[in-house]
Structure 1
Amino acid sequence: MNGLILVPTDNERRLIESSLRIESDQWTVKTIGFGVIAAGIATTHLLLSERPRQVILAGIAGLFPGPSTETLRLGDAIWFDSVAIDGIGVGQGDAFVDAADLGWRAESEAAPTETIHLPNPPQSRASIAQPALLLTVCSGSADEDDAARRLQRVPNAIGEDMEAYAVAYACQSAGVPLRVVRGFSNRVGCRDKSDWQIAPALESVAEQLQQVLDGETS
């Protein structure tokens, strides 16, 4: 098998596949589940059973506010060049202390929250200055205060998701290159789903994927 396209949920997968044309048997789309635990386990299983040469993670994400995202709007999709994780450590809210700051690692080991850099992300149609970092969390930001605290800890975060770091960690451990494309369905911290743009975001994801698939089969 050449490649796997991994999507967290069945709903995301249906919306992506409805706009995606796969004319080659070199790519297979799989659902890996919602959240870091399900995504990490499912990705590891697929890496062992399918032996892909490359992996793409696709789905939705929240969009952080800030100068680096001023050119982006809900419904846009971009490729990320790095992923990090927030929430591994001690405490909640303003009392939170990251695992790396606690010294939770052996001298020979990377910190459990170390940023993972992704190889050669394709060019995104949406305009954004690099780097493009995706922040994975176990619990999405509940409000603007949550989002602000996360940006304070990870100032260069562009998007918030709940799977990418687990998938990236599994792929890095297996030596399989990973690319990540996410469509922005909502503002980070906005829980009012009437303001979300899930379908347009996933249509943009499918467009980005199609460019990659067409480029590799041409």
Structure 2
Amino acid sequence: MRVLVVTAVPVERDAVTRAFGNGTEVSVRPVPGAEIHRTGPFDVLAGGAGPASAAASAAFALASDRYDLVISAGIGGGFAGAAPVGSLVVAGRIGAADLGAETPAGFVPVTDLGFGRVWHFPPGSLVSAVAAATGAVTGDILTVSTVTGSAERAAALLAGHPGAVAEAMEGFGVAEAADRLGLPALEIRAVSNAVGPRDRDAWRIGDALAALTDAFGKLIPVLEGWTTHHDRDHS
């Protein structure tokens, strides 16, 4: 199987490819303004920060080759009590938390305005298998265009999305691109900081990147097993 992994920045891409060593890595350049690093069954792309860049880069990559699965991966913020710093999360749902409109009554998601969508649903059997293999927390991962920087905003996100375990900036964009081709999407995040007031001194980016490397080192047998059962279920 071929898997496209889309990260935001090169340091996240390198954390993924580091799981497989450097001996099998080949760099190719089918995506304008970026490059894909091929390692085993994974093509890993640093597609840029934010949902728009992630969607555009993923779409270019998906148009250049055949893939069976798309993964949005990287580091992100974890909600207190659900995903502590240093933990791993895998999305049961991938949501666009701020896609909609502000009204006098509060935020209204775009779906309540009568169009669009705000959720993508990764394959449940794959989410369960990844969580079992990696020890990841499962729940909603929210895609935001502005990273949360206050306790008030964190509380508002949880009030609107009580199943949220983490926030990041690219998952929904990657899932949108995958959906255009009818491909399943997954989101995996290693938690580098708590969602809430920004305290850079408390961030553990190095630990999160190491957790991301460790997680991808455990994924190949999971994906091979899921593909076998998935193909059998759809034969």
* TM-score, with length taken from structure 1: 0.84
Equivalent residue letter for 1:46: A
Shift of 1:17: 3.2
Q: What is the number of residues matched between the two proteins? A: 205
* Structure 1 Cα separation of the partners of residues 196 and 3 of structure 2: 33
Please name the residue that 1:191 is paired with: 198
- Taking only aligned residues, the RMSD between alpha carbons, in angstroms, comes to 2.4
Say yes or no: does 1:210 pair with 2:217: yes
SS of the equivalent of 2:154 reads helix
User: Which region of structure 1 is more displaced relative to structure 2, 179-188 or 20-29?
Assistant: 20-29
Cα distance change on mapping 1:61 and 1:152 into 2, 3 Å:
same
Give the distance between the partners of 2:21 and 2:66, measured in 1 at CA: 23
Q: Is the 8 A contact 1:93 1:149 kept in 2?
A: no
1:34 offset after TM fit, Å?
0.4
Identical aligned residues as a percent = 25
Change in 2 beyond 3 A, CA 1:94/1:18: farther
> Residue 39 of structure 1: CA displacement?
0.3
Unaligned runs of 5+ in 2: 25-38, 226-235
- The counterpart of 2:135, out of the listed 110, 126, 133, is 126
The structure-2 alpha-carbon separation of the partners of 1:215 and 1:142, relative to structure 1 and needing over 3 Å to count, comes to: closer
Q: Which has the higher contact order (CA 8 A, sep 6+)?
A: 1
**Are residues 1:85 and 2:96 paired?**
yes
The one-letter amino acid of 2:6's match is L
Aligned to 2:166: 159
- Does the residue aligned with 1:91 lie in a helix, a strand or coil? strand
Give the match for residue 70 of structure 2.
55
Shift of 1:25: 3.6
Among 40, 62, 74, the alignment partner of 2:85 is 74
Contact 2:6 2:174 in 1 (8 A): no
Deviation at 1:9, TM superposition (A): 0.6
* 1:181 partner letter: I
After TM superposition, what 4+ stretches of structure 1 lie above 3 angstroms from structure 2? 15-25, 92-95, 124-128, 214-218
SS in 2 for 1:133: strand
1:45 partnered with 2:50: no
Whole-Å Cα distance in 1 between the matches of residues 156 and 15 of structure 2? Answer: 32
- TM-score, normalised by the number of residues in structure 2: 0.78
1:108 is aligned to: none
- CA drift at 1:20: 4.0
Structure-2 separation of matches of 1:91 and 1:21: 47
Contact 1:10–1:31 (Cα < 8 Å) also in 2? yes
Taking the aligned partners of 2:48 and 2:145, their CA distance within structure 1 comes to 13
